[in-house]
Structure 1
Amino acid sequence: MTTLAPDPAVRLVLGSASPRRLDLLAQAGITPHAVRPPEIDETPRKAETPLDYVRRIAREKIAAIQVAEDEVVLCADTTVALGRRILGKPADEASARAMLSLLAGRRHRVITAVTVRRGDRVWERAVTTAVAVKPLTDAEIEAYIGTDDWRGKAGSYAIQGPFGAHIPWINGSFTGVVGLPLTETLGLLTAAGLAGGPR
């Protein structure tokens, strides 16, 4: 990975409306100077694999954001994959209930693609984490549905929320499951010249 020299004048733009990604950056001591979520069509293509899907969406997000010469933009996309099946954000309670029933008692993958752009240069990384969900009773699923925590979440759950009690095991990046793998993201930001305390 080619790394640019750090430039204290360069400013970070987060291309995401996710409060979770903003919180994760804050954990690393990073506060973007601007948040500009892009508007793109996130519909999966026919026969598109989950990995290809998140990589494409992250690239399309970053291409859709206008930035100044002194700005570096960071975008990410997360999906839950059950085999080749993409479990995106649920449309309603019924779709959330169906997704949770599919995940119960099984292992799945959470894939987050991260893309960083500075000028014409682009750096990207995809991180895959294996996640196990314990067998769930109908009552447990309904109790979680009642929390509303599933809304806007890929796969209908957030590992850092109440559903975390149903996840006995993961293999990979916890922050990647939340929505932004911090170690890999910091590596990309460093490569783009934001080392030594990106802003």
Structure 2
Amino acid sequence: MTATLRLASASPRRRELLASIGVAVDVHPVDIDETPHADEAAQDYVQRLARAKALAGAEGSQLPTLGSDTAVVLDGQIFGKPRDRAHAAEMLTALAGTTHQVLTAVAVSGPAGLLECCVASRVTLRDIAPSEIDAYWATGEPADKAGGYAIQGLAAVFVAEMQGSHSAVVGLPLYESAALLICQGVPLWSGGGVAVP
């Protein structure tokens, strides 16, 4: 299977979402500084990172390259991936019983230039007991998730309501991403999965 897109991310969730629409990817993670700039708005932050990932990932490749970034935002504060158990507990405690925003930006570098979009969704979590947070951390699932939870995983039991794009909250808005890919000449439903060298 021949790759039709380079994915500048190690996220298995983004790879799986692209496979679900038949896009075969060459996985090429990039290492960029994800520290927010002083007074940087959350949307500007995720869009900047998505662009940086797409451009860095495109180096040395003839394939269109997709970069993406997701952030959980509560009252203007950006919640990234937890540093440790205590940080995850702090984030989940703040998010519990509230409605927060999940922003996912996508940038695709290719023949049409650098195309991008940002999708905002709203997620309401129920109240979560400290013992549940501890038990959830022990599963290992929250360690690499923005906001310290995975809506598509075990944390689904915490989600009281969601408005917007479920796939965007998981890590890649498929409707919007597909439109960008088509503009870059990337075919959908071409077999999907990870390309075999």
Tell me the TM-score normalized by structure 1. 0.90
User: Where do 1:79-90 residues align within 5 Å?
Assistant: 79-90=71-82
Deviations along 1:55-81, one digit per CA (max 9) or x if unpaired, are 000111112121433x11111000000
User: Where do 1:54-73 residues align within 5 Å?
Assistant: 54-65=46-57, 66-69=59-62, 71-73=63-65
Q: Which residue of 1 aligns with 2:195?
A: none
Q: Which residue of 1 aligns with 2:19?
A: 26
Instruction: Pick one of 161, 182, 185 that aligns with 2:174.
Output: 182
Deviations along 1:32-69, one digit per CA (max 9) or x if unpaired, are 1x111111100011111111100000111112121433
Instruction: Pick one of 124, 145, 159 that aligns with 1:132.
Output: 124
Q: Which residue of 2 aligns with 1:39?
A: 31
Amino acid at match of 2:125: V
SS of corresponding position for 1:75: strand
Q: Residue 196 and residue 62 in structure 1: after superposition, are their counterparts in 2 closer, same or farther (change >3 A)?
A: closer
**Any unmatched runs of 5+ in structure 1?**
1-8
Q: Residue 17 and residue 78 in structure 1: after superposition, are their counterparts in 2 closer, same or farther (change >3 A)?
A: same
Q: Residue 10 and residue 100 in structure 1: after superposition, are their counterparts in 2 closer, same or farther (change >3 A)?
A: closer
Taking only the aligned residue pairs, the percentage that are identical comes to: 42
Task: Show structure 1 runs of 4+ deviating over 6 A.
Answer: none
Amino acid at match of 1:53: Y
Q: Which residue of 1 aligns with 2:67?
A: 75
Native 8 Å contact 1:67 1:73 kept in 2: no
**Any unmatched runs of 5+ in structure 2?**
193-197
Amino acid at match of 1:93: R
* 1:144 to partner: Cα distance: 1.0
Tell me the TM-score normalized by structure 2. 0.91
Q: Residue 55 and residue 61 in structure 1: after superposition, are their counterparts in 2 closer, same or farther (change >3 A)?
A: same
Q: Which residue of 1 aligns with 2:98?
A: 106
Alpha-carbon distance in 2 for matches of 1:157, 1:26: 23
- Aligned CA RMSD, in angstroms, stands at 1.6
Alpha-carbon distance in 2 for matches of 1:193, 1:31: 13
Deviations along 1:108-144, one digit per CA (max 9) or x if unpaired, are 0110000001147011000000000001112221221
Paired residues in the alignment total: 189
Q: Structure 1 residue 158 and structure 2 residue 150: aligned?
A: yes
Native 8 Å contact 1:115 1:125 kept in 2: yes
Richer in helix (by share): 2
Q: Residue 100 and residue 11 in structure 1: after superposition, are their counterparts in 2 closer, same or farther (change >3 A)?
A: same
